[in-house]
A and B are shown apart, each in its own frame.
Chain A
Amino acid sequence: MSRPKLLALQLLVAVVALLVWHLGSTVPLGLGADGKPFFLLPKFFFSTPLDVLARVWTMFASGEVYRHLAITLVEAMLAFAIGALAGIVIGFWFARKPLVAAVFDPYVKMMNALPRVVLAPIFALWFGLGIWSKVWLGVTLVFFIVFFNVYQGVREVSPVVLSNARMLGMNERQLLRHVYWPAALAWVFSSLHTSVGFAVVGAVVGEYLGSSAGLGYLIHQAEGVFDVTGVFAGMLILMVFVMAIDFVVTLVEKPLLVWKPGETKTV
């Protein structure tokens, strides 16, 4: 399908959905038993698209949202950086030392089996209500994704490529740099979208469960006073925020993965 046509269809979906929402919440279907107008999507529960947009506008116009965006961004970036670094180092270590991997294997599985949300309160207790309890929550999510990918990547280096590299005279250190590292990095990058996404999830969930700033906090505040417009406005901002981050990730990974056999283009 041509690109403009696809774009038009994608837009159509949004227009239809917004239209249904708008009509459902503003045009009454008739009068209810109590004599009041009856809506398909009552404003109290669903707000209206125009109200939500207006709220987003005021949030940006008043400037109050920037601080929250910045806090969530910092938390997510710290969570990603620390989680990815730890995942890479420990993933390498486990992959190169089978004994270590065998000993820790059940514990790694146990830790990973734990739904991370339950850690939020205890992290708040340990690290306070500031950004660090959110950062560490994100770290526990990012770490396992990166760890498993690096572990897999290092262990699944093609034995022939490895033998060849050895025959070319590489020592252990050179193998690490020229063979294991690029192989592992490819796996890390293939999971980059997931791990960055989880860094944001960690931050937002942490904020939601107890904080005084951030997008999660904004949404939680609005929910606390049944301000549905505020909840939807927060969610909209969060969605765009995550998509913007995802876009940056795509820009970063493109030049780093040119060697990967991907889609072949002919002209």
Chain B
Amino acid sequence: MSAGGSAAVAPRQDAVPAVALRGVSVAYALADGGRYEAVQPVDVTVEDGEFVAILGPTGCGKSTLLNIAAGLMAPSSGTGTIFGRPLAGLNAVAGYLFQQDALMPWKTARDNVAIGLEVAGSTRAAALEAAAAMLKRVGLAGFGERYPHQLSGGQRKRVALAQVLVRRPKILLMDEPFGPLDAQTRLIMSELLLDLWQADRKAVMFVTHDLDEAIALADRVLVMSAGPRARIIGEFPIPLARPRDVAEVRSEPEFHRLHAAIWGCLRDEVRKTYALAAGEGRA
């Protein structure tokens, strides 16, 4: 396979970007009246149809950035635009797969998936049918009648994925979606995600702490520095040809070159995070 950027890799440059964060910074108000400067002004752009992965040490502000893009939180400074329109209030064209469990515990898996269509005006029958089909796609046919507490952590994540995908959002925000899954399931889910994404290329902002996963999936990898005042310290286009085989791609020489380059960028930041934490522990 050629490593050169094929036409399939390059995003459509003519269109307006799906997500454009300009000079966005975030400071959290602390309970004691102070402020925690989580993210320094950063620029993040995700083109329509582009798959962007965000890597960074724990606590650097990855979820924070996704919350801004989702419109759940206003930035302390800077602006966001979604397909050229200023982001005010919720981002209605985005689907957000949360890092934490976010299913409604009082609804069955099927109802959890169907509800997004129902509130948008689908008939219940149509919504349930679509939900059942989507659950089947994520490998949960036959689990529709279970309540979240009757599912494993990985199964819950897959229900959440179905819940987001069934609405066909134009932008996908995913926060460590495969975090609690075992290595094999991660691989299968990554494949599934790429399949679904390949079918109707959405813009994706994908947060992960797994370097291999980021390279295997993304068109572009952003690396964030350790907080506080986290910045984007590296941007790596991933010129691996598509469609990709998530497992095979890991044995390509280009993959290893990228891995080494990105890890070189990330390593020091990860160390910094732990050094900082150890220092605080002593104080």
Contacts and interface: CB of A to CB of B under 8 A. Distances in A.
Interface in A184-238: 186
A164 B102 contact: yes
B149 interface: yes
B260 to A, nearest CB: 36
A85 B98 CA distance: 35
Interface string B143-172: 000011100000000000001000100000
Contacts, number: 64
Interface in A98-142: none
Contact of B104 (A163, A165, A167, A169): A165
B97 to A, nearest CB: 9
A161 interface: yes
Q: Which of A160, A168, A259 has the most CB of B within 10 A?
A: A168
Q: Label chain A's interface by main secondary structure.
A: helix
B106 A186 contact: yes
A230 to B, nearest CB: 48
Contacts of A182: 104, 106-107
| Chain B interface, DSSP helix/strand/loop, else mixed | loop
B105 A259 contact: yes
B141 interface: no
A166 interface: yes
Given A259-B149, A260-B149, A168 B72 contact: no
Question: Which one of B70, B94, B107, B115 has the highest number of Cβ atoms from chain A below 10 Å of its Cβ?
Answer: B115
Interface in A150-171: 158, 160-161, 163-171
Given A160-B98, A163-B72, A168-B167, A183 B115 contact: no
A189 to B, nearest CB: 11
Given A158-B102, A164-B98, A174-B119, 7 more contacts: A161-B103, A164-B96, A167-B72, A169-B120, A178-B104, A182-B107, A259-B105
